């Protein structure tokens, strides 16, 4: 099938058995390979001769030697309420591989059938949401934002009931870890301090090896600080790129700080600070501008779970890292987006005023910053044209040009650097919607083309200009179903 240069491991099975249930996948019928990530496979240490050979594995009809599928047990806070019943309800951890560069990869088959944690669910995933997850994880990776990845996805004949009957699909999601904040909540609230310690040591050994040699108290303290900081930095990156996650429950928070679990997510088109992309989120708990706060609340849930084995003051100190790490990283990102390198006391004011203006005038977030990255090549028109009232743009541009006078970098150098942080291409909801419709009609080529563009979001790619266009009116406020 393929030439492997990875090692097989399954370190998750070293945890106490309460952390998982062994489950065989329920096979899907007549699977068809939709998309295979050859570049990722090669990074992971294997070469694929025929992608179609992997379809049966994606369908859960075949396992490779060494695969030992388990559904992971975790709990978590969903919309602020603790739910003890969670766990992999439709995904199975198949094994872990270690690539030639030493990177560890969990292989998780999402859509593999029911497990003891499925509750009322059918254990399946549909084509629509699987394509969205595939596209978004690869788009985030292209943007340089930590994320789980998509190795391949299949579609199948089986009908799946959602609001209507849809096509079944499955995604081979890979990540350096599938351990969530919710794993710690499960250990703390149901298993006791020994299990919690075992989980913590497992995570440190695999993902924070630089902490291993520290004495226990320091090791735990530093580890928690690092998790808090990674979470803060991740969310600062989301804010800077205009990404809304939509379901920031603590069971969807990765312990290593990856973007995890793509549901009703959205990238902002017209900037709206209070944008809510999840249509079941009636109170706007996970609105774009609440994400930094929610990230902190999730760190508090994790902190609570650590209290049985960590001192309260230490945990509190760790939590305090959140605000500083978030503010520092957010400012750093925004200054880079504006092309500002020289320190200037007024910059935070400029950043906040810019957000207020984008919000008030509902300016397309991505095109605004990309336009600023080409001012000296393309002039001010691409920026001004985003405003119904051009005088607002002119006033802002005047202030910005005045600020640029303090910069010592040349225009060309600055704008080149800005184009490496301000994407031209993002996964707008309407673009995803278009390729999903084509895929539902059996044509996966449009999805593959979009994927190719999103892999290099900072490159001009003039032949794909259409993917950088403003959304048409129908595409601006799509109702993305959360039933995935």
Q: What are the two backbone dihedrals, phi and then psi, of residue 146, each rounded to the nearest 5 degrees?
A: -55, 135
Q: Residues 251, 258, 269, 281: which is the catalytic one?
A: 251
> Least distance (Å) from Mg ion to the CB of residue 79?
13
261 is annotated as contributing to ligand binding: yes
CA 467, distance to chain mean position in Å, is 21
87 is annotated as contributing to ligand binding: yes
Helix, strand, coil share of the chain (percent; to 5): 45, 15, 35
Choice between 261 and 281, CB closer to Mg ion: 261
173 is annotated as contributing to ligand binding: yes
Question: For the packed helices 127-142 and 429-440, what is the interaxial angle rounded to 10 degrees?
Answer: 140
124 is annotated as contributing to ligand binding: no
What is the number of alpha carbons within 13 Å of residue 86 lying toward its C-beta? 21
- Cβ atoms within 10 Å, residue 48: 17
Q: Does 261 bind ligand AMP (CB under 6 A)?
A: yes
> Least distance (Å) from ligand AMP to the CB of residue 195?
19
Among 10, 104, 108, 124, binds ligand AMP (CB under 6 A): 124
- Picking from 226, 159, 190, 165, the residue whose alpha carbon sits closest to that of residue 87 is 190
Q: Does 426 bind ligand AMP (CB under 6 A)?
A: no
> Least distance (Å) from Mg ion to the CB of residue 80?
16
The Cα 15–Cα 198 span in angstroms is: 7
Question: Is position 101 annotated as part of the catalytic site?
Answer: no
229 binds, among Mg ion, ligand AMP, none (CB under 5 to 8 A by kind): none
Distances in Å between the alpha carbon of 171 and those of 301, 363, 387, 429?
29, 35, 40, 20
The Cα 385–Cα 446 span in angstroms is: 29
The Cα 276–Cα 272 span in angstroms is: 9
Choice between 153 and 421, CB closer to ligand AMP: 153
Among 118, 293, 300, 461, binds ligand AMP (CB under 6 A): 118
110 is annotated as contributing to ligand binding: yes
144 binds, among Mg ion, ligand AMP, none (CB under 5 to 8 A by kind): none
Specify the residue for token string 């992999």.
88
Residue 406 gets which letter from DSSP?
T
Question: For the packed helices 193-207 and 291-306, what is the interaxial angle rounded to 10 degrees?
Answer: 120
Residue number of the CB atom closest to ligand AMP: 121
The Cα 461–Cα 317 span in angstroms is: 46
308 binds, among ligand AMP, Mg ion, none (CB under 5 to 8 A by kind): none
The Cα 333–Cα 407 span in angstroms is: 17
Choice between 86 and 338, CB closer to ligand AMP: 86
Quick check: 314 and 220 in contact, CB under 8 A? Answer: yes
The Cα 255–Cα 185 span in angstroms is: 12
From 38-46, 115-123, 189-197, 264-272, span contacting ligand AMP (CB under 6 A): 115-123
- Cβ atoms within 10 Å, residue 357: 17
> Least distance (Å) from Mg ion to the CB of residue 261?
4
90 is annotated as contributing to ligand binding: yes
> Least distance (Å) from ligand AMP to the CB of residue 119?
6
Choice between 278 and 333, CB closer to ligand AMP: 278
Quick check: 148 and 175 in contact, CB under 8 A? Answer: yes
In the complex, the residues that contact Mg ion under the rule CB under 5 A are 252, 261
Choice between 185 and 261, CB closer to Mg ion: 261
Binding to ligand AMP, residues 66-95 (CB under 6 A):
86-90
- Picking from 241, 248, 253, 244, the residue whose alpha carbon sits closest to that of residue 177 is 253
Q: Does 246 bind ligand AMP (CB under 6 A)?
A: no
Choice between 41 and 169, CB closer to ligand AMP: 169
Structure tokens at 302: 């994790």
Choice between 5 and 280, CB closer to Mg ion: 280
Residues known to be catalytic:
251
Chain positions contacting ligand AMP, by CB under 6 A:
86-90, 117-118, 121-124, 247, 252, 261, 263
- List the binding residues for Mg(2+): 252, 261
- List the binding residues for ATP: 87, 89-90, 110, 122-123, 173, 180, 261
- List the binding residues: 87, 89-90, 110, 122-123, 173, 180, 252, 261
């Amino acid at each position: 099938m393929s030439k492997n240069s990875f090692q097989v491991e399954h370190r998750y099975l070293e945890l106490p058995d309460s952390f998982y249930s062994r489950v065989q996948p329920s096979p899907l019928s007549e699977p068809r390979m939709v998309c295979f990530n050859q570049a990722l496979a090669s990074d992971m240490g294997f070469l694929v001769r025929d992608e179609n050979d992997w379809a049966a594995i994606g369908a859960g009809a075949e396992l490779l030697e060494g695969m030992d599928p388990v559904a992971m047990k975790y709990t978590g806070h969903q919309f602020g309420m603790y739910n003890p019943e969670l766990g992999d309800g439709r995904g199975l951890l198949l094994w872990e591989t270690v690539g030639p560069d030493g990177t560890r990869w969990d292989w998780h088959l999402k859509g593999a059938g029911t497990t003891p944690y499925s509750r009322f669910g059918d254990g399946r995933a549909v084509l629509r949401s699987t394509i969205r997850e595939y596209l978004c994880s690869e788009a985030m990776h292209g943007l340089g934002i930590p994320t789980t990845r998509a190795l391949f996805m299949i579609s199948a004949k089986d009908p799946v009931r959602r609001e209507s009957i849809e096509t079944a699909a499955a995604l081979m999601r890979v990540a350096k870890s599938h351990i969530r904040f919710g794993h710690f909540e499960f250990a703390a609230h149901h298993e006791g301090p020994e299990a919690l310690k075992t989980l913590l040591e497992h995570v440190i050994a695999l993902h924070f090896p630089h902490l291993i040699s520290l004495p226990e108290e320091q090791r735990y303290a530093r580890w928690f600080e690092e998790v808090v900081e990674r979470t803060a930095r991740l969310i600062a990156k989301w804010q800077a790129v205009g990404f809304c996650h939509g379901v920031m429950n603590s069971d969807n928070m990765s312990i290593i700080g990856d973007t995890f679990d793509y549901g009703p997510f959205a990238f902002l088109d017209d900037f709206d600070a209070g944008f809510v992309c999840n249509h079941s989120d009636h109170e706007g708990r996970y609105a774009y501008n609440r994400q930094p706060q929610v990230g902190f609340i999730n760190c508090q849930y994790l902190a609570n779970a650590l209290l049985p084995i960590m001192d309260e003051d230490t945990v509190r100190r760790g939590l305090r890292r959140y605000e500083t790490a978030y503010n520092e990283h957010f400012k750093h990102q925004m200054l880079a987006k504006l092309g500002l390198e020289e320190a200037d006391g007024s910059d935070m004011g400029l950043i906040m005023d810019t957000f207020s203006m984008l919000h008030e005038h509902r300016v397309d977030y991505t095109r605004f910053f990309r336009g600023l990255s080409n001012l000296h090549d393309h002039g001010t028109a691409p920026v001004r044209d985003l405003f119904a009232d051009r005088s607002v743009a002119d006033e802002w541009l005047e202030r910005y040009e005045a600020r640029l006078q303090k910069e010592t970098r040349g225009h060309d150098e600055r704008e080149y650097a800005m184009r490496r942080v301000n994407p031209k291409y993002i996964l707008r909801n309407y673009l995803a919607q278009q390729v999903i419709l084509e895929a539902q009609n059996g044509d996966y080529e449009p999805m593959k083309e979009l994927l190719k563009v999103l892999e290099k979001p900072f490159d001009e790619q003039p032949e794909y200009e259409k993917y950088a266009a403003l959304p048409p009116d129908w595409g601006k406020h799509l109702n993305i179903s959360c039933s995935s």
